[in-house]
Amino acid sequence: MKALIVSMTIAFGLVAGQALAADETKKEQSPAQRAQQERMKNCNKQAREQALKGDERKQFMKGCLSGKSASQKP
């Protein structure tokens, strides 16, 4: 029983250590990724302001994210 507890503790420690190491090696976002994230944020805001739902929202987001006229409701 003690061997089981010890082996489970070691396994948990290894998994937790790998998770922490993965967080530390997180890469910086590229300028393109930041631009896309900002575009998504702005498009979401516009869709929310226009109270778009369902297919209307999908079509709006598709156009907005591709850079087409995003200021008008489709």
What pLDDT score was predicted for residue 74?
Answer: 43
Q: Please determine, for residue 61, whether its predicted confidence score (pLDDT) is greater than 90.
A: yes
Confidence of residue 17 (pLDDT cuts 50, 70, 90): low
In the chain, where the domains are located: 34-66
Q: Are 59 and 73 in contact (CB under 8 A)?
A: no
Q: Are 74 and 59 in contact (CB under 8 A)?
A: yes
> pTM here?
0.54
CA distances from 16 to 11, 26, 49 (A): 9, 16, 42
Provide the percentage of residues in the chain whose pLDDT is more than 70. 69
- CA distance linking residue 64 with residue 69, whole number of Å: 7
Sequence-separated (6 or more) residues with CB below 8 Å from residue 25: none
